[in-house]
Structure 1
C-alpha cells in the first residue's frame, strides 16, 4: 500500500535505488566526531585561510572583506561569495535557465525542461501533461535549494509544487522570477566544488539514514543517529525529528532492524530538512571530475563554483546530468561532512585569488 507520495505505508519510504546502492557501499563509516565544536561561518573559514597564507584582511562593511598581500589587492569576499566569479557567472547563478543555456551551448548534459512566468500556470500544466516522465518543479533562482519538488505525476501534485516554488523564489532584484519544469531524473545527488582546473571537494547529499545491524531495534539506531546529528557542528544547527519522520512513514521503530537494510530518516537531502553528506572527493571517476570542471568553464569567467550533478554511478560519467552551476553556493559542508574527509575549500579559494592577482 502506498500514499500519494509513493511511500510504502508498511515499511517506510522507497529510497532512490542509486542512493541505496551508494549508501550500502559508502555509508557504513561512523560519522565524523568533531568533539562538540560548532561550525565556523563561511567568512571565518575564508578569513582563517587568508591568514594562514600570510595575507591581510580589511573589513569594508558588514561581511565584506578585502584581502591584500603587500601592496597588491588579492581579492575579496562577502560571506561565501568571493571575487573569483565574473559578472556573467554571477548572473547565471541567479537564473537557472541562463546557466543551462551556457551548458547546452557546450554540449553538456542537462535535464530536458522549460521555464514559465509564475502567472502562466495553465500553460505550464499543458507542458507537464505532455511529458512522458515524472516532473520536477523549482524556482529559477532560490535560496538554499528551497521550493524544489521532484517526482510529480499528477496535476494536483503539480499545482501544489507550483505554489511551493513560487513562494520560494529569491527576492533579489536581479533574481530570475520564473519557474522551471524539468523531467525527473533519478540518481545520486553530488555537489562538486570546482576551483580553477580542479575538483577540490565533492559531497554526495543524502537523506539522514541508518543501516540495519540486525540486532538492535530501529528505535535504538535512530536514537544513536539523531544524537550524532544533533552534535554535528553544521547539521546540528537545524532540528530534525527523525523519530517523527519514521512514525509518519510507517517504519517499525520497535522491531529489530533488517541487517544491511538502508532506512531513510528524513524527507530529502536538504540539510535544513534532515539531510547529511558523504565526502566522495576521492571516489569520483576522473571523467566525472572533468565534467564538473567543463561545466564550470562553460559559464564565462567562472573560476570557482559548485556544480550539482545527478549520477547513476559515482565512478562513471555515463548517464550523468548537470543540474546547476552556482558561484554563490555554500562550501561549509565540505569542511564539515557527515561521513568522510574534511576538505579545505576556503584555502583553495584564497590560493586561486592569489594566483589570479599575479596575472
Structure 2
C-alpha cells in the first residue's frame, strides 16, 4: 500500500525534499553516537573506563558518576529502560498520562487466529509489527484482512524473537496517513526534530524503479551517514513494487512506509519549523515514563503545524544521534554536549537530593 502523492508524505517530499535534492548535505566523515558523547565527557573532566561486554564507567573527581552499556546510559532508569523495550507497555504509560496513541491490540505468538479475526473485522487498514523489534524489522503496512496474513505474522513474530526480552508478541494497530517525526529529548528539553521520509523515487519516463533507486543511492553517498545505511535493493525493500516498472516523467513513487533509515528513509531536520504543540507532545511522552532523561520519541502526525491528529508511537533511549547530526536536508544538531551536561549535573547533585540549581556552564561542542 503506497501513499498518494498528495497525502502528507507526498506533500512533504514535494515541498521539503525535492527542492533540495541536488544539494543534499555533504558529510564525508561521521563519528559514532558514543564517541561524541565520550569526547564531551572528557572535555568536562570525566575519565572513562571500558569493560568488555559490560560497558563503561564514568569517573569524576575520583568518584563513579555514571556509566553506559552501548548507547544506554545511567541517565535512564531501569523502569524506563524496561518500559521502552515494549511498544505496548510504553503506550500504557502514555495513555495513563492522557496522551494520544494509535488504536490497536497486542497478541502473543500463540494468538494467530485471534489476530486474524481482528484484522478481518477492522474497518481501516492496519499495521502489523513486532512489539519489541527496532528499525521497522518485521513490519507490514496496509493489512486489510486475514488474506495473506500468515507471512507478515510470521515475519513480525520472528523479528520479535530476535530481541532478548521478547516472546514474539505482535501489535496490530490502525494505519495512519501521516509523517513520522523523531524528537530527541534531553532532560526535559526538546533538542531536535527530524522527519524520516520513507523510500521514494521520481520517474523520468525512461528508467526502471530499480535504476532510479540505484541512482538515488549513489547520490546519497555524498553524506557518509546515509552511505553507511544504504540498503540492498529488493522487492521486500519496496514492499512488493515491481522493480522493473518505469514511472512516468516527474511521477512520485513512494515505495515503502517504513520510516527506518536502514530501510532507505531520509532524515530531514524540522527543528525550527515544527509546531510547539507537537514538540510539547513529545516532551510529555518522555515525561510520562519515570526516569527517561534522554530518549528519542516517535510521533505520527498528518500536519507539522498542529498536534490535533497526532499520536505518540514509542520511545527509544538507545536511539542514535546520527540522523540529527547528519541529516540529508536541514541543519545539523549538536547534541552530545547536552547529554554530557546531564551526566555532570547528575554527578554534581547525586548526594544532595534536596539541593536544586541550574547548570552554571555553557560549553560549546
TM tier, smaller: 0.7 to 0.9
- C-alpha displacement at 1:327, in angstroms? 1.6
Taking the aligned partners of 1:267 and 1:177, their CA distance within structure 2 comes to: 22
| Structure 2 partner of 1:297 | 287
Partner SS state of residue 221, structure 2: helix
Cα contact 2:186–2:294 (8 A) shared by 1: yes
Q: Which residue of 1 aligns with 2:123?
A: 132
266, 271, 276: which one aligns with 1:286: 276
Deviations 1:272-325 (CA, angstroms, capped at 9, x unpaired): 222111011111111111110100010122112111111111121110111112
TM-fit CA distance, 1:238: 3.4
Structure 2 residue 72 is the aligned partner of structure 1 residue 81? yes
**Does 1:248 pair with 2:243?**
yes
Equivalent pair of 2:128/2:140 in contact (CA under 8 Å): yes
State which of 153, 158, 173 in structure 2 corresponds to 1:167: 158
CA pair 272-116 structure 1, distance change in 2 beyond 3 A:
same
Structure 1 counterpart of 2:220: 229
SS for the counterpart of 1:21 is helix
Q: Does 1:100 align with 2:100?
A: no
Q: Secondary structure at the match of 1:156?
A: coil
Task: Give CA deviations for 1:48-96 in whole Å, capped at 9, x if unaligned.
Answer: 2222333222213347222222234332222211111111111111111
Establish whether residue 33 from structure 1 lines up as the match of residue 26 from structure 2.
yes
Q: Is the 8 A contact 2:108 2:170 kept in 1?
A: yes
Distance in 2, Cα, partners of 1:251 & 1:322: 37
Q: Return the alpha-carbon distance in structure 2 between the equivalents of residues 161 and 16 of structure 1.
A: 28
User: Normalized against structure 2, the TM-score is what?
Assistant: 0.84
Unaligned 5+ segments in structure 2 are: 350-365
CA RMSD in angstroms, aligned pairs only: 2.7
Aligned pair partner of 1:311 in 295, 301, 309: 301
Q: Which shifted more, 322-331 or 225-234?
A: 225-234
Q: Distance in 2 between matches of 1:126 and 1:222?
A: 37
Unmatched tracts of structure 1, length 5 or more = 1-5, 8-12
Change (3 A) 1:61 1:204: same
8 Å contact 1:204–1:277 — kept in the other structure? yes
1:22-51 Cα offsets, whole Å, 9 max, x none, are 1222212221111x32x3222212222222
Q: Give the CA deviation at 1:204.
A: 0.5
The change in CA–CA distance for 1:265 and 1:231 in structure 2 (over 3 A counts) is farther
Q: Is the partner of 1:358 in helix, strand or coil? A: helix
- Taking a change above 3 Å as real, the CA distance of residues 62 and 47 of structure 1, as seen in their structure-2 partners, is farther
Cα shift at 1:148: 1.4
- 8 Å contact 1:112–1:182 — kept in the other structure? yes
Task: Indicate the SS of the match to 1:190.
Answer: strand
Cα distance in 1, alignment partners of residues 279 and 257 from structure 2: 28
Partner of 1:46: 37
Q: How far apart are 1:105 and its partner, in Å? A: 0.5
**SS of corresponding position for 2:193:** strand
Check whether the contact 1:267–1:274 (CA below 8 A) recurs between aligned residues: no
**Shift in CA distance, 174/151, structure 1 to aligned 2, threshold 3 Å:** same
Question: For residues 53 and 300 of structure 2, what CA distance do their matches in structure 1 show?
Answer: 36
Q: How many residues align?
A: 340
Match of 1:343 among 320, 323, 333: 333
Could you tell me how far apart the structure 1 residues matched to 2:296 and 2:72 are? 11
